[in-house]
Amino acid sequence: MSEGSVFESISRVVIRIDEIKKRFGYGKSPEQEVSFESRLEQVNAKEDAALSLQEGAQPAGDAPESELQAHHALYDEIIEAASEKFRIPASLIKAVIQQESSFDRNAVSNKGAIGLMQLMPKTADVLGVSDPYDAEENIMGGTRYLRELINLYGGNLNRALAAYNAGPERVKMGIPDIRETKDFIATVLSNYDELSQYSNEEGFE
C-alpha cells in the first residue's frame, strides 16, 4: 500500500471517529455536556412524577382546591342527580355526607344509623330505601329527607339540619340545646360554605 493510500485510510478513520464523537456527545463543552448522573436524575424524576399521577397524587403546584373535594369524587354523579331532583345544592349534600360518614358507605353509628347519610332503619323504610348501604339509595333517600325537613321549617336550614340530626320531635320549639346537634349544624354549614367556593351551582333555596 502506498504512503498516500495509508494517509487517505487514516483520514477516513479520523473523520469517522469525529462523527461518532459528535453522535454520542463527545467533544462538547462542559456547559453543553450532560453527565450520565444528571440524565439519570431526570429520568428518575419523570418516573416519580408518573407514579405519583398513577397513584392519584396531584402534580407539584397543583394541590386540590379543597380537602373535602378529594373524598366525594366517587359519588359525584349520584349527588348531582339527587341535587337536581330535590333542588338542593350538591355542595350541601356533600357537606352533610362529610359530617355524617366521611363518605364511608359502610359507616354505622352507635345508634344504628347506616351509610353515607346515616339513615336510621325506620327512616330508611319510610323513605323507601331498601338497602341503606347502597350509595345511590342512601344518597337519594337522605337528600329527599333533607328536602322534606327544609320544607317543613319554611326554608330554615338551621332547623332542618337540627331535625336531621336530632329528629323533628326535638325541634318543634326551635333548635334544641344539645351540644352534638349544635356542633353538627356548625360543621355542616362550615363544610357547605367551603365547598360552595369551588362550585358554580345556584344558592340554596
Q: Is 182 left (phi over 0), alpha (psi -120 to 50) or beta?
A: alpha
What residues contact residue 139 under an 8 Å CB cut-off, 6+ apart? 75, 78, 79, 82, 93, 97, 116, 117
- Cell of residue 198, nine digits: 369551588
- Cell of residue 153, nine digits: 321549617
Which among 84, 100, 137, 201 is annotated as catalytic? 100
Whole-number Å distance between alpha carbons of 133 and 31:
63
H/E stretch holding 164 reads: helix 157-166
Catalytic-residue membership of 100: yes
Whole-number Å distance between alpha carbons of 49 and 67:
21
Strand ranges for the chain from DSSP E: none
Active-site residues, by number, are 100
